[in-house]
Amino acid sequence: MTHEELKALLIRAEEAQNIGNYNEADKLAQQVLDILLIGDMDDRDGNLLRASTTNLLGVIAYRRSNYSIALEFFTAALNISNVLFDKEGIAKALGNIGAVHKDLSEYLLALDYYAKAIAVDEELGNKSGVARHLGNIGIIYTSLSDYTLALDYYAKALTAHEELGNKTSAARVTGNIGNVYYILGNYPSALEYGTKALEEHEKLGNQASVARLTGNIGLVHWNLGNHSCALEFFDKALTLHEKLGSRIDVAAVTGNIGNVYFALGDYSGAIEYFEKAHVAHKYLGDKAGAARLSGNIGLVHLNLGNQSIALEYLTEALSTLEELGMRGDAARVLGEIGNLHLSLSNYSSALEYFSKAQSELESLGMRADVARTIGSIGSVYASIDFDGYEPEKAEEMLL
């Protein structure tokens, strides 16, 4: 095949990847790479095409949650681009390596790679690349519970994508803004941004993004107590993710289905889904996801009266979340450990954990969680056998 024919084949692979058809994308990209490796195309144009193809194979592996393979491809692409002094290829590979570290909860490494990628893209005048990196930094700050910074980066990214006419990227950032509002307990705004993003991705035919947004909207309905509606959205999302082969998303939605069963009081169903998700997150190397599931499993055992097992899981979750700098999730676990001590009538310990949780949640602006924690503190003061029993104070907090 000629160089132009190979470029055309690679474009077809990129188009397939963009709409979530990873099997077709992988087949086409691998075909291009095989021809490049066995053919006599060792000139600059041939090597540039090899770097682009290698990078695309990394993206496909990344979308399928094959992080070690993705990192190999991205590093290979970076090495080729460095040899060629191809700054555009260097920036793209740096950003993609940052994305892998982001998904592996290695946030400082991810921020370092994104900063390097932004520097190169700014030098090139690549506004689209800068916008993409800004959005990814927003995701990291969301994970680190710095929601003000997250919204700031998302706003910059969204403005840039809209100015450039990047509809897919603008829709992706819109969905991420919805995620922040969801975390902050602002469910009407979360539903507004999430629905807007979902509709745009459906128009564009972006199956992977449709799957993620469908799951996110399920989460909003779950928090609003619309359990049947939540399960409907989660089931749709799970089917889409399984079809796409996105294992990290399958694991996340599996855990969310567990949350619905937990809310319905079906603890055997909850444990079943939580444990499946926990095993998957650990296998994929997703420390953050595994830690959240440890906390969820702990909650089930707490509700079943297995306090010692519950404390083991909750303590494990808290340690990992604090290590990763995930303050919001860690604060929620502090509150649950407080509930555990309350169930054991360890009122001083319960107040200690609730107070820590309240302080942290207030600093993060997580209003819904703050309200729940204040109610829990009220439950302590409402306990007749508590030395500091204060019914009036309890009533005020429980209102």
| Whether 347 contacts 378, CB under 8 Å | no
Residue 297, pLDDT > 70, answer yes
At 399, the pLDDT band (50, 70, 90 cuts) reads low
In this prediction, residue 40 carries a pLDDT of: 60
Q: Does residue 20 carry a pLDDT above 90?
A: no
Mean pLDDT along residues 188-212 = 95
Q: What is the mean pLDDT of residues 295-310?
A: 96
Pair 97, 111: CB distance under 8 Å: no
Would you give the DSSP letter of residue 40?
Answer: S
The pLDDT value recorded for residue 306 is 96
Question: What domains lie within the chain, and their CATH numbers?
Answer: 1-125 (1.25.40.10), 130-224 (1.25.40.10)
221 sits in which H/E element:
helix 207-223
Q: Specify the pLDDT at position 374.
A: 93
Portion of the chain with pLDDT greater than 70, in percent: 99
Single pTM value for the model: 0.67
Q: Which pLDDT belongs to residue 36?
A: 87
What pLDDT score was predicted for residue 368? 84
Query: Which long-range CB contacts under 8 A does 34-39 form with residues at least 24 apart?
Result: 35/1, 35/6, 36/6, 39/1
**How far is residue 369's CA from residue 327's CA, in Å, rounded to a whole number?**
13
Mean pLDDT of the chain: 93
In sequence order, which ranges of 224-286 are alpha helices (DSSP H)? 227-244, 247-263, 267-284
| The pLDDT value given to residue 46 | 85
pLDDT digits (tens, 9 = 90+) for 86-136: 999 999 999 999 999 999 989 999 999 999 999 999 999 999 999 999 999
Work out the angle between the directed axes of helices 287-303 and 327-343 (0-180°, nearest 10).
20
Number of residues assigned to the chain: 399
Which residue blocks in the chain are alpha helix, DSSP H?
3-18, 22-38, 44-63, 67-84, 87-103, 107-124, 127-143, 147-164, 167-183, 187-204, 207-223, 227-244, 247-263, 267-284, 287-303, 307-324, 327-343, 347-364, 367-381, 391-398
Q: What pLDDT, in 10s, does the model give residues 122-138? A: 999 999 999 999 999 99
pLDDT of residue 21: 86
Q: For residue 375, what are its two tokens?
A: 């109610």
pLDDT cut 90: percent of the chain above it: 82
How far apart are alpha carbons 48 and 55 in whole angstroms? 11
What is the C-alpha to C-alpha distance for residues 339 and 349, in angstroms, rounded to an integer? Answer: 10
Measure Cα distances from 338 to 76, 202, 313, 375 in Å: 48, 43, 14, 12
Pairwise CA distance, residues 24 & 7, whole Å: 16
**For range 18-44, the mean pLDDT:** 85
Measured distance CA(287)–CA(281) in Å, rounded: 7
- Asked whether 120 and 82 are in contact (CB, 8 A), the reply is no
Note the pLDDT of residue 41.
Answer: 62
